[in-house]
Amino acid sequence: MSAPADRWPAADPTLYRRLREQDDPGVLATVVSVEGAAYRRPGAKMLVDTDGDAIGAITAGCLRDRIVEAALAVRETATPRVVAFDLADDDTWDLASGCDGRIEVLLEPVGEAIRDALGAVADRRAVTLITAVESSHPEVAVGDRAVVDAGVNSHDERGRTLPADVSEAPQVQSVETTAMRTVETADGEVTVLVDPIEPPPRLLLFGSRPDLRPVAWLGRAVGFDVVVASPRGGAATDETAPAAHEVLASHPTDLPAHTDRWTYPVVLSHNAIDDQIAVEALLTDSPVPYVGLLGSRDRSRRLLEAIEDDGVELTDDQLDRLSTPVGLDLGGDGPTAVALSVVGEVHAVHHGAPGGRLRDQSGPIHDRPQ
């Protein structure tokens, strides 16, 4: 099973790597605000390269050509700008798009500051981009930015930075998810997009059997940074899981070294001893919020009893992080059906979603921007 295409929709790991590695990546399009129904939320990003090809998606496709056209114009002027697109105006697109929302998109040439910031994200560090999108302040232009990386502010690639009374304003510093904030200063009003960016969620798969391949493929397709850790005796080559971003060999006790708080391990080596060691190491010696374990309830019970017999008493908090049998109850069988169940659960856990049917829920599908 080959890796899924990353051109559309590009998983964040692919987009971030492209931004960091290319000398002239192009123009970055970021959703700034949304009114009504729209395909993506504020903070969603698409890269338009120098040839006009789009990597990623911020609409279902109805706006793609217009956004690309606007992005190429921004590249010519090298001046960031915010462009509004009204999806309810069907005449704009000469077709009925089926959407009735309005989105504003920040278009900006990718320079050193963006590349460094998103390079930090690719290196598994969280950053916050604070970017001016509207200003009556004489010394603040659209596109001026502060980058907060590990609590340190830096200026943008044009040598311009936001004044401290803007970037350090309480209403800006308190933002936890992408949002717009307006700051009144003595010199004028500045509206900024506060865009906290965390590293892409990592799906760490411990195993090397063929049933791992569809799990890796689906995980990559929905935006996980997929790492396969092959246990002792297992193959650690690209053929182990062609869709994985990385394949490595690891003793189960070493798995915590490949984790952070954005990592979601799934243990599926089919070796009882390796699984036991892996689960114990991940629950007791890593910051992961979740550990999935493939297998029946009876097998999992015996595994936990073996950990206890070895003198390790798992806390309630540690046991709450363990999900076994891993997966959602979707029915079906076979490797792909199991993979869909497993990746569906991990995806739901990462997004804090219940994993039920949308028809049974009331209210909007996505939380409305603040």
> Do residues 185 and 238 share a domain?
no
Q: Which domain holds residue 125?
A: 118-197
CA distance 220 to 203: 8
Q: Are 126 and 199 in contact (CB under 8 A)?
A: yes
Give the pLDDT confidence score for residue 60 in this predicted structure. 66
**303, 179: one domain:** no
Pinpoint the alpha helices (H) of 231-365. 272-285, 297-309, 316-320, 335-350
- My answer on whether 133 and 154 are in the same domain is yes
Q: In whole angstroms, what separates CA 156 from the centre of its chain?
A: 23
In a domain, 179, yes or no: yes
**Which of the pair, 97 or 78, is modelled with greater confidence?**
78
Kindly state whether residue 7 falls inside one of the protein's structural domains: no
Instruction: Provide the pLDDT for residue 149.
Output: 78
Q: What mean pLDDT do residues 27-53 have?
A: 83
- Spatial distance between the Cα atoms of 112 and 116, rounded to a whole number of angstroms: 6
**Can you tell me the mean pLDDT for 42-66?**
82
147 and 230 both lie in a single domain: no
Element (DSSP H or E) covering residue 215: helix 212-221
214/259 same-domain check: yes
pLDDT digits (tens, 9 = 90+) for 110-134: 887 787 787 788 788 888 989 999 9
Assign residue 268 the CATH number of its domain: 3.40.50.720
Please tell me whether residues 337 and 270 are part of one structural domain.
yes
Distance CA 140, CA 187 (A): 10
Question: Does pLDDT of 97 surpass 60?
Answer: no
Query: Are the C-beta atoms of 34 and 370 separated by less than 8 Å?
Result: no
Distance of alpha carbon 158 from alpha carbon 98, whole angstroms: 40
Say if CB 324 and CB 300 are below 8 A apart. yes
Residue 5 has pLDDT above 50, yes or no: no
Residue 103 covered by a domain: yes
Estimate to the nearest angstrom the gap between the alpha carbon of 211 and the chain centroid: 25
pLDDT over 70 (residue 183): yes
Domain assignment of residue 361, yes or no: no
**Residue 103: what pLDDT?**
86
**pTM to 2 decimal places:** 0.82
Is 2 domain-assigned?
A: no
Domain contains 368: no
- Answer yes or no: do 62 and 128 share one domain: no
Which of the pair, 261 or 151, is modelled with greater confidence?
261
Tell me how many degrees the CA angle 36-40-43 measures, rounded to the nearest 5.
Answer: 110
Place 96 in a pLDDT band, splitting at 50, 70 and 90. Answer: very low
One domain for residues 233 and 327: yes
Most confident of 14-23, 68-77, 281-290, 347-356: 281-290
Report yes or no on 363 lying in a domain.
no
Single residue among 169, 197, 225 that ends a domain in this structure:
197
Work out the pLDDT band at 152, boundaries 50, 70, 90. Answer: low
Alpha carbon distance 38, 54 (integer Å): 18
Domain-terminating residue out of 77, 110, 143: 110
| Residue-wise pLDDT tens digits, 338-369 | 999 999 999 999 999 999 888 888 776 666 55
Together in a domain, 184 and 233? no
Same domain, 52 and 93: yes
Whether residue 237 is found in the same domain as residue 133? no
Residues 312, 262 within the same domain: yes
Give the count of domains, the chain.
Answer: 3
Beta bridge partners of 249: 230
Q: 96 versus 363: which is more confidently predicted?
A: 363
Q: What percentage of residues in the chain have a pLDDT greater than 90?
A: 51
Is residue 268 included in any domain, yes or no? yes
**Of 140, 163, 197, which one is at a domain's C-terminal end?**
197
